[in-house]
Structure 1
Amino acid sequence: MTRRVLSGAALAAGLLVSPSALGAEPVRLAVISESASNWPLYVAQAKGFFDKEGVTVQVTLTRSSAKQLEALDKGDFDIGHQAADHIIRAVEKGSELFVVMALNRPAFSIVAAPGIGAFEDLRGKALAVDGAATGYALLLKKILARHGLREGDYTLKEVGGTNERYEAVRTRIAAAGLISPPFDLKLFADGFKSLGNTSDYFPHYQGSVAATRRSWASANRETLIRYIRGYVTASDWLFEPRNRAEAIEILLGRVTMDRAQAGATYESALAKALIPKAAVSVDGLRQVIEVLGETGQLRPPLPAPEKYLDPTYYTKAREGR
């Protein structure tokens, strides 16, 4: 597997190409950043599960969910790992994107700078988010509201994905932010404080999903099915306890952290974040729709989750295992 940096005004990105044989079907995959949320992807690449399915997966790091969504929608990528709410909003604006597979539930630590001991201490402070209207920012707003903080009591600072939010909090550009493992563990080791976890408030909310365009899926049906099958195989492997040590080595090869942090990340990710078998929760997707309705981004009557989901590709991939 090789890595190179792509140039271009639209995206600053890294390309990861699997070493499968010539003739394999290419899949241009977009992810936002390197983090434990991509663990099954890392496993699929390291263990050759995509290669065995006859697909070559080229992964571009977009560093921004908004840039990724725009590029995915116009065909620069074939599949995007993206927050479910982004796909829903895109569809409502006329996009042909749809959800094919689930990836993660939101299990972000709410990490605050030293000296901040309660939500009230965030009043008047800047909080790091990917984008002010993203699904995870909406969850943060709802959590803050439960603790008496309304919009206007704080400022949302748009900085980008997990890595960028980590840096913003670490350097005190922001007083707090939603940070995923292992970056939250690094901050805790440096004296930063935890104000809780999004999973405490939204345990079934559908977070990240794999999405693609209906036209691409129709024209590349078998490729999409094979991609899903390779990813689900990796997910099954990752959730097998006997593979824990090797899984940690794979993560350490992709995300900078120490071994103790990797071990803690494994326990947290499997218990709270990663979704077994990458199966979409219709109820979890419905919660996303309800949150968008509550914030005025969807109007009643609220659409059914099936408007944004086509499970046939996933079902076919599972039948072939």
Structure 2
Amino acid sequence: MTPLTLAVVSRNYFNMPAWLGLHAGLFAAEGIDLTIDHIEGIEEVNDRLRSGRAQLAYGVTEHVILDAESGGHLAIIGGNVNRLPFSLIARHGIEDLKGLRGKRIGVSSLRAGSSSLIMRLLAEQGLNWPDDYELVPCGPILARWDLLRSGGIDAGLQGAPLNHIALDHGFVSLCEPRQDFQFTSLDVDTRWAEGNRDVLLRFLRGFLRAHDRFYTDRDVARDVAVKESGIEPRYADRAWEEYTRDEIFPRDAEASETGVQALIETSALIRDLPRRARTRAADYIDRRWLAEARASL
């Protein structure tokens, strides 16, 4: 068995394809002894790729874009959250997006991730950061949920199933963006990939099978979600229904060129970024690896 580490952000539902592949033995069948390293700091995930402490990552895709702009070696080789899965959850008493004026909104990071989406959504309502509201960098979804419940923030993006749990606890949803947007992706350092071709292809064969299994086996998806995240089975089922209905995870495991382009355009509109290192979304995606793995199934 070949040991391999996949770094992921927190214990949230975004990790389901990898969790399912691990529990269903799909990586082991390819001789891969996979360790999934759950990390709360989103910047730390891709830092581990660069340092070699992880060989693959479910990372925030904007970090790959920023890495490329600075001459780095990270690349998108597969999909993860290809379409927005969020509800913008707020405390009771806030009735709409304009009601967030003067409020504290939790985001994963000011540098990348959910902050881009918040800025874009609120700019469409005439609210601009930092004059009209405060962004609180508090980490990923689970940390935002804790702060929302404690009153530390007034609102924050939540994905299924935490959006459903929040609504059942009396919080409100201000909007539910579902457009194509490459929020997270399967990322790799190309230097490691080129030197470990056989290992990467074996991992990707398991990765491809895991995505197909997610769509065809709700019972396994429920059991894995409950075991890994501790949610109730009814919420696991609701998350599965939402993710399969809206195709939030790509069934073919591919990254979305449309989703990457949407990410680029959003971040370019709201951030003072240097010139893009590449001009097309497709230039950030290396599809060779999945294509070769699929051909060898």
TM-score by length of 1: 0.87
Say if 1:192 and 1:125 are closer, same or farther in 2 by CA, change over 3 A: same
Secondary structure of the residue that 1:34 maps to in structure 2? coil
Is residue 38 of structure 1 aligned with residue 38 of structure 2? Answer: no
Q: Is the 8 A contact 1:289 1:302 kept in 2?
A: no
Is residue 232 of structure 1 aligned with residue 232 of structure 2? Answer: no
Query: CA offsets per residue over residues 156-204 of structure 1, 9 Å max, x none?
Result: 10111111111111111000001111212221111000011121xxx11
Secondary structure of the residue that 1:164 maps to in structure 2? helix
RMSD: 1.5
Is residue 255 of structure 1 aligned with residue 229 of structure 2? Answer: yes
Alignment partner, residue 126 of structure 2:
148
Secondary structure of the residue that 2:78 maps to in structure 1? strand
Alignment partner, residue 283 of structure 1:
258
Secondary structure of the residue that 1:127 maps to in structure 2? strand
Secondary structure of the residue that 1:317 maps to in structure 2? helix
Alignment partner, residue 58 of structure 2:
81
Alignment partner, residue 295 of structure 2:
319
Count of aligned pairs between the two proteins: 293
Is residue 137 of structure 1 aligned with residue 137 of structure 2? Answer: no
Secondary structure of the residue that 2:182 maps to in structure 1? coil
Query: CA offsets per residue over residues 257-296 of structure 1, 9 Å max, x none?
Result: 2222111111112223212121112222122222232233
Is residue 208 of structure 1 aligned with residue 184 of structure 2? Answer: yes
Alignment partner, residue 25 of structure 1:
2
Say if 1:265 and 1:95 are closer, same or farther in 2 by CA, change over 3 A: same
TM-score by length of 2: 0.94
Task: Give 1:133 shift.
Answer: 2.3
- The amino acid that maps onto 1:221 is R
Q: Is the 8 A contact 1:290 1:302 kept in 2?
A: no
Alignment partner, residue 179 of structure 1:
158
Task: Give 1:311 shift.
Answer: 0.9
Is residue 112 of structure 1 aligned with residue 110 of structure 2? Answer: no
Q: In 1, distance between residues paired with 2:77 and 2:151? A: 38
Q: In 1, distance between residues paired with 2:276 and 2:65? A: 14
Q: In 2, distance between residues paired with 1:264 and 1:298? A: 41
Secondary structure of the residue that 1:31 maps to in structure 2? strand
Alignment equivalent of 1:190, drawn from 154, 161, 169: 169
Say if 1:186 and 1:54 are closer, same or farther in 2 by CA, change over 3 A: same
Task: Give 1:302 shift.
Answer: 5.8
Q: In 2, distance between residues paired with 1:145 and 1:189? A: 29
Q: In 1, distance between residues paired with 2:94 and 2:183? A: 27
Task: Give 1:301 shift.
Answer: 8.7
Q: In 2, distance between residues paired with 1:301 and 1:169? A: 37
- The amino acid that maps onto 1:131 is S
Q: Is the 8 A contact 1:289 1:298 kept in 2?
A: no
Q: In 1, distance between residues paired with 2:136 and 2:276? A: 30
Q: In 1, distance between residues paired with 2:277 and 2:45? A: 29
Secondary structure of the residue that 2:152 maps to in structure 1? coil
Q: 5+ unaligned residues in a row in structure 1: which ranges? A: 1-23
Alignment partner, residue 47 of structure 2:
70
Q: In 2, distance between residues paired with 1:205 and 1:306? A: 14
Alignment partner, residue 274 of structure 1:
249
Q: Is the 8 A contact 2:8 2:39 kept in 1?
A: yes
Task: Give 1:246 shift.
Answer: 2.6
Alignment of 1:46-65 (within 5 A): 46-65=23-42
Alignment equivalent of 2:76, drawn from 76, 79, 99: 99
Q: In 2, distance between residues paired with 1:284 and 1:125? A: 29
Task: Give 1:297 shift.
Answer: 2.0
